[in-house]
Amino acid sequence: MAVKTAAILTCLTSPFVPALAEWPDRLEGHGGPVKSVTLDPSGKRLLSTSFDYSVLVWSEDEAGEASAEPLRLIGHEAAVNDGRFLPGNRAVTVGDDSDLILWDLTTAELLHRFDGFGEKVLSVDVSANGRFAAVASWENQARIYDLEASPSKLLHVLDQHRGNVNSVAFSKDGTQLFTASYDGGIRQFDVETGAFLREIVNLGWGVNVLKVLPDGTSLFFGVTDGKTGVLDIWTGEEIKVLPPHTRPVLSLAVSLDGKRAASGGGDGLIRVFDAKTFELLEEFENPYGLVWGLSFNADGNRLFYTGLDDEIHLWDVSPRKPFEALDIDFPRRFQVAETSDPGERQFARKCSVCHTLTPDGGNRAGPTLFGVFGRRAGGLEGYPYSEALIKADFFWDEKTISDLFDHGPDIVTPGSKMPIQRLKSVEDRDALVAFLKRATDPSADQPNSQESGDQSQ
């Protein structure tokens, strides 16, 4: 059964920085888990990226309240992992499709796509003047792009890593880039020349996330073994060892005024520190999952946080409430609920992050499966299919759907953006197909017990 509670959060303001007025405690608009959330330096807009392949930009309306309808940016062909605002009402985003996309936020148009090299990109950062963008790639490299060149171009490939690069961060003056790698190293590069300067430290375990602190001389880092700390850039000394997470550190944030810093982990914990002394100020636990994204609001007294939910949540850091209820649905649609139907169970596991079963569908990584049997592949009006599916010349039926899970989309629909999902057991495939045929039948009277589905279409 779903456990759902609600909290009413109070928006606090500060005279020192621009404040967001009356952000709701829950921002709904994505159709898949939200991977990251980033506040505009003005404090008035929020950019979020999601497993549903979309980017949303949330902003205040004329009344100073969060607009009900965010700007939706569609262009990535896989999960979108991170994004940053740029001067000139632009933004950049990166995703599992390996690409870096430059957006015009006035028109919602894709200005330029920088093709990646094939592996996913987890992180992007931009220099303070907005000229350079850097990405962390699972090609064991970081890349620097010059966004002000005419045309914009890839400037440097930084391949001095022995493992996936998980995070990048520019120095405050934009002249240097720091990288965090799965090989345990935190490295330093010259932005103009691309020269490898040094490995500042090797922490042994993979480094997941990295932030330059406001003093410009230290780095805030999080590691796969749960370690969180502060590193002196010039000496490589760990000047602060912070309370560890029990699972990998997945997100970090620093407030706009530079006074607070936060870490989020796979253990569902969020910790907030004084960004100068690193005294632990507050701690919050979400028992229902990991914390992929963190961003302080404009005055630093609230935190946007994201994870396995389709929504962005807010937590009051200060002042704390005596009772903090969680506005979270659990179990989630892709977490297997109690069911005696093996097909429904496979649907929840394999399909429900990306698809719905309902006619209104929702915005997910894949189209609704409602009425899928007898529908031409790539044939649902209004859904932005990949070119491979648009050109497909077959219809979905018991055999083609079974084949999809037997051989995989790389064989059945080569070139499409479907992630590889296979079921080698004939019994599992038959059960899934039977459930889908029953649950997606437009003539069926009974409501579906599940709400979603897979990249199988």
Domain contains 14: no
List the beta strands (DSSP E) in 140-279.
141-146, 153-158, 165-170, 176-181, 185-190, 196-202, 207-212, 218-223, 228-232, 238-242, 249-254, 260-265, 269-274
User: Nearest Cα to 89, choosing from 153, 40, 54, 148?
Assistant: 40
Domain contains 351: yes
Q: Are the C-beta atoms of residues 114 and 133 closer than 8 Å to each other?
A: no
How far apart CA 212 and CA 202 sit, in angstroms, is 17
Domain contains 329: no
The mean pLDDT of the chain is 86
| Structure confidence at residue 390 (pLDDT) | 83
How far apart CA 72 and CA 30 sit, in angstroms, is 9
Which residue's entry shows tokens 């005055």? 299
| Structure confidence at residue 7 (pLDDT) | 30
Mean pLDDT of the 225-231 span: 97
Domain contains 328: no
- Paired strand residues for 154: 145
- Is the pLDDT confidence value at 175 over 80? yes
| Structure confidence at residue 16 (pLDDT) | 37
How far apart CA 204 and CA 181 sit, in angstroms, is 10
Domain closes at, from 281, 316, 351: 316
How far apart CA 148 and CA 405 sit, in angstroms, is 45
How far apart CA 22 and CA 58 sit, in angstroms, is 13
279 and 347 share one domain? no
| Structure confidence at residue 419 (pLDDT) | 66
- The highest-confidence range among 10-24, 279-293, 380-394, by mean pLDDT, is 279-293
41: preceding bond cis by omega (within 30 degrees): no
Domain contains 192: yes
Mean pLDDT of the 326-336 span: 63
298 and 369 share one domain? no
CATH code of residue 430 = 1.10.760.10
| Domain membership of residue 161 as a residue range | 26-316
Which tens digits make up the pLDDT trace of 437-457? 888 888 875 444 444 333 334
How far apart CA 7 and CA 378 sit, in angstroms, is 41
Which tens digits make up the pLDDT trace of 63-120? 556 666 899 999 998 899 999 999 999 999 999 999 999 999 999 999 999 999 999 9
Q: What is the band of 220 on the pLDDT scale with cuts at 50, 70, 90?
A: very high
- Domain total for the chain? 2
Q: What is the band of 332 on the pLDDT scale with cuts at 50, 70, 90?
A: low
Which helix (H) or strand (E) covers residue 327, if one does? none
| Structure confidence at residue 368 (pLDDT) | 84
Residues 6+ apart with CB under 8 A from 142: 134, 135, 136, 157, 158, 161, 165, 168, 177, 179, 189
Residue with the bigger pLDDT between 163 and 417: it is 163
User: Nearest Cα to 312, choosing from 251, 229, 355?
Assistant: 251
325's tokens: 């209820």
Domain contains 324: no
Which tens digits make up the pLDDT trace of 352-379? 777 878 777 665 677 888 888 988 988 8
Q: What is the band of 391 on the pLDDT scale with cuts at 50, 70, 90?
A: confident
| Structure confidence at residue 193 (pLDDT) | 97
Query: Which pTM value belongs to this model?
Result: 0.79
| Structure confidence at residue 338 (pLDDT) | 64
Which residue's entry shows tokens 């109070």? 10
Which tens digits make up the pLDDT trace of 393-441? 888 998 988 888 888 777 887 777 666 667 788 888 888 888 888 888 8
Instruction: Give percent above pLDDT 70 in the chain.
Output: 84
| Structure confidence at residue 372 (pLDDT) | 87
- Is the pLDDT confidence value at 20 over 60? no
| Structure confidence at residue 328 (pLDDT) | 67
- Is the pLDDT confidence value at 278 over 70? yes
Domain contains 376: yes
Instruction: Give percent above pLDDT 90 in the chain.
Output: 56
62 and 185 share one domain? yes
How far apart CA 332 and CA 337 sit, in angstroms, is 8
